[in-house]
């Protein structure tokens, strides 16, 4: 078997190997994945390593630390080298390039050429090595090379390496990159001014007897010190012409400094929101289950208030900056943005730890759109959507909403009931909304518990001051024709079951009772069945 053949077989082996895939995904989570906790921990360790090595190298300049220090330095360099190689490995999939080239050659019926393939692989890796962070990484390894003392200066690069691990620091770099056009313009302007003033000062001052400016370098140094408004005063112009240059330069300097400051300040101001959003994203990431609330109108506020009381993790997204500000004042996690944007939703955990998404905006069109987006991104999330118009309900269900809430319908319903039977309706309403201590509570029958295959009559509910409203049973259980029931979607509801009705595991008992009675009942079923009852 020739060498290229062996190489291609090896590439295919890697492609199918689960261990290789696992190792690579682990490396990705450790080094790159912006969401992984592993990466956050790794970053912390690396920061400590970098700082300790820098402190050690500085201390070593004047002191001798012995063999252990050398070992430690060796260890750190080892870690750096491994990290560097791992990042290079992650940057591109060489075996995939190999397979791609091989299959392409196979497709057009041409012989497979190894050299261009290897060149492509090398090109990708070199592209990685040329990235600024990779160069910094490489230079950070150098200071430990003892024979070349001047390499110590690259210690600075070890500190620059911190940029990689401290993510807020990299925002500063991004600000400068984003404003490069303005900064470049300013730089060119300053360069021009400095050049003119340098030459002018040299011409006026250098020919004086006993001049303080003896070379063009002196003039340049003076110009820079003056234009930045630092003004040490070690070199001062003595001729009238030179002083005129100085006066003009001072005013230009003030303009330059204020212009530069304003560029950086506005750039940071623009970035501030992004920084804040990143904080919200990372806090959302830490929650194990999160409910995404789209729209912080009145309904959103009521839901948020209740969820806060119930200690659910949730995050709010609203288009309006002021609304978001209001939510933040209440101590909620909130982000200003368009909830129809799938990137934002994904950052908030849709498709990962998000359990529910509530589409509560005023606009039916937006709600349908968010519902559709959410359903596409996450097939098993629970979507609760608001509909103002009756005809939107069908569209929302079609888009994938699990439940639809219609404020107007609720009002209509309450109003209609209120005409006929105000007292009964109020009582039921209080019970549902838990306004009083008596309420309706679902209790699931756990398999193997004391309730499993028990008769309803034997539960002694009256003695516990509880009312059994009914039993909800899944359609998967065989129907019991002797008991009448109501059909629900996927379930049957046995209203007010007779005392000889037998319970099954996973039935849901709909109990009405006082909070204390309900809690006692729930606690009692979770207790183990006594051994004499196993038969």
Kindly identify the residues of this chain, within the stretch 502-521, that bind other proteins according to CB under 8 A: 508, 510, 512-514, 517
Residue 363 lies near other proteins (rule: CB under 8 A): no
The residue (of 128 and 493) whose beta carbon lies closer to other proteins is 493
Q: Which residues are paired to 491 by β-bridges?
A: 474, 488
The residue (of 93 and 417) whose beta carbon lies closer to other proteins is 417
Task: For the segment 244-303, give every residue that binds other proteins (CB under 8 A).
Answer: 291, 297-303
The residue (of 353 and 382) whose beta carbon lies closer to other proteins is 382
With vertex at residue 267, the alpha carbon angle to CA 263 and CA 273, rounded to the nearest 5 degrees, is 160
CB 414 within 8 A of CB 482: no
Rounded to whole angstroms, how far apart are CA atoms 530 and 535?
Answer: 11
CB 357 within 8 A of CB 350: yes
Pick one of 229, 493, 504, 506: the residue that binds other proteins (CB under 8 A): 493
Rounded to whole angstroms, how far apart are CA atoms 265 and 271?
Answer: 10
The residue (of 253 and 300) whose beta carbon lies closer to other proteins is 300
Rounded to whole angstroms, how far apart are CA atoms 33 and 47?
Answer: 17
Least distance CB 123 / other proteins (angstroms) = 52
Pick one of 384, 396, 399, 525: the residue that binds other proteins (CB under 8 A): 384
Least distance CB 90 / other proteins (angstroms) = 39
Pick one of 145, 192, 232, 495: the residue that binds other proteins (CB under 8 A): 495
The residue (of 141 and 461) whose beta carbon lies closer to other proteins is 461
Q: Which residue has the tokens 């240059």?
A: 245
Pick one of 76, 280, 459, 466: the residue that binds other proteins (CB under 8 A): 466
CB 259 within 8 A of CB 186: yes
Least distance CB 426 / other proteins (angstroms) = 7
CB 509 within 8 A of CB 445: yes
Kindly write out the interface string for residues 399-438 of this chain, putting x where it contacts other proteins by CB under 8 A and - elsewhere: ----x-xxxxxxxxxxxxxxxxxxxxxxxx-xxxx--x-x
Residue 343 lies near other proteins (rule: CB under 8 A): no
Task: For the segment 95-134, give every residue that binds other proteins (CB under 8 A).
Answer: none
**CA-based R_g, the chain, Å:** 36
Least distance CB 474 / other proteins (angstroms) = 11
Instruction: Provide the token pair at 488.
Output: 């629900």
Near other proteins by CB under 8 A, which window of 65-73, 90-98, 186-194, 461-469? Answer: 461-469
Pairing of strands 508-514, 438-444: antiparallel
The residue (of 104 and 436) whose beta carbon lies closer to other proteins is 436
Instruction: Provide the token pair at 411.
Output: 């009002």
DSSP run (H or E) holding 488: strand 486-488
Least distance CB 155 / other proteins (angstroms) = 55
Helix (H/G/I), strand (E/B), else coil: 386: strand
Count of residues that bind other proteins according to CB under 8 A = 77
Pick one of 440, 502, 505, 506: the residue that binds other proteins (CB under 8 A): 440
Could you tell me how far CA 471 lies from the centroid of its own chain?
A: 42
CB 108 within 8 A of CB 132: no
The residue (of 132 and 442) whose beta carbon lies closer to other proteins is 442
Least distance CB 286 / other proteins (angstroms) = 20
Near other proteins by CB under 8 A, which window of 10-18, 110-118, 150-158, 307-315? Answer: 307-315
End-to-end Cα spacing for the chain: 70
Rounded to whole angstroms, how far apart are CA atoms 464 and 123?
Answer: 77
Residue 472 lies near other proteins (rule: CB under 8 A): yes
User: How many Cβ atoms from other residues are within 10 Å of residue 282's Cβ?
Assistant: 14
Least distance CB 415 / other proteins (angstroms) = 5
Give 346's contacts (C-beta < 8 A, 6+ positions apart).
377
């Amino acid at each position: 078997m020739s060498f290229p053949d062996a190489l291609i077989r090896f590439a295919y082996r890697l492609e199918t190997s689960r261990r290789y895939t696992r190792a690579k995904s682990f490396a990705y989570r450790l080094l790159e994945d912006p969401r992984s906790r592993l990466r956050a921990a790794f970053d912390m360790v690396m920061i400590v390593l970098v700082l300790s090595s820098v402190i050690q190298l500085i201390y070593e300049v004047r002191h001798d630390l012995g063999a252990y220090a050398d070992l430690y330095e060796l260890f750190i360099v080892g870690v750096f080298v491994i990290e560097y190689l791992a990042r290079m490995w992650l940057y591109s999939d060489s075996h995939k390039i190999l397979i791609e080239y091989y299959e392409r050659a196979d497709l057009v019926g041409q012989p497979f050429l190894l050299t261009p393939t290897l060149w492509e692989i090398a090109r990708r890796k070199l592209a990685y090595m040329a990235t600024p962070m990779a160069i910094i990484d490489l230079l950070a390894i150098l200071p430990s090379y003892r024979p070349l003392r001047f390499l110590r200066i690259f210690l600075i690069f070890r500190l620059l390496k911190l940029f990689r691990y401290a993510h807020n620091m990299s925002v500063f770099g991004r600000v400068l990159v984003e404003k490069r056009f303005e900064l470049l313009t300013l730089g060119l302007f300053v360069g021009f001014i400095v050049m003119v003033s340098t030459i002018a000062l040299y011409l006026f001052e250098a020919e004086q007897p006993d001049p303080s400016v003896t070379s063009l370098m002196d003039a340049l140094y003076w110009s820079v010190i003056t234009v930045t408004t630092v003004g040490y005063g070690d070199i001062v112009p003595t001729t009238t012409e030179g002083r005129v240059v100085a006066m003009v330069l001072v005013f230009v300097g003030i303009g330059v400094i204020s212009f530069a400051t304003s560029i950086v300040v506005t750039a940071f101001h623009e970035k501030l929101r992004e920084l804040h959003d990143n904080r919200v994203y990372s806090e959302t990431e830490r929650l194990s289950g999160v409910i995404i609330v789209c729209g912080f109108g009145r309904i959103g506020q009521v839901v948020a208030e209740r969820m806060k009381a119930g200690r659910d993790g949730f995050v709010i997204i609203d288009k309006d900056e002021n609304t978001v500000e209001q939510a933040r004042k209440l101590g909620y996690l909130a982000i200003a943005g368009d909830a129809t944007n799938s990137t934002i939703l994904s950052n908030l955990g849709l498709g990962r730890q998000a359990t529910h998404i509530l589409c509560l905006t005023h606009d039916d069109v937006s709600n349908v759109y968010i519902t559709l987006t959410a359903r596409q991104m996450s097939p098993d999330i629970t979507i609760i959507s608001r509909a103002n118009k009756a005809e939107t309900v069908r569209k929302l269900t079609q888009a994938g909403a699990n439940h639809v809430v219609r404020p107007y319908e609720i009002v209509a319903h309450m109003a209609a009931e209120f005409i006929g039977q105000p007292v009964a309706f109020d009582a039921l309403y209080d019970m549902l909304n838990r306004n009083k201590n008596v309420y309706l509570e679902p209790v699931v029958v756990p398999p193997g518990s004391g309730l499993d295959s028990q008769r309803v009559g034997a539960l002694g509910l009256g003695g516990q001051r509880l009312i059994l409203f009914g039993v909800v049973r899944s359609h998967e259980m065989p129907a019991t024709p002797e008991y009448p029931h109501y059909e629900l979607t996927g379930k049957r509801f046995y209203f007010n079951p007779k005392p000889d009705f037998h319970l099954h595991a996973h039935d849901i008992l709909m109990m009405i009772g006082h909070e204390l009675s309900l809690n006692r009942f729930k606690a009692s079923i979770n207790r183990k069945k006594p051994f004499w009852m196993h038969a």
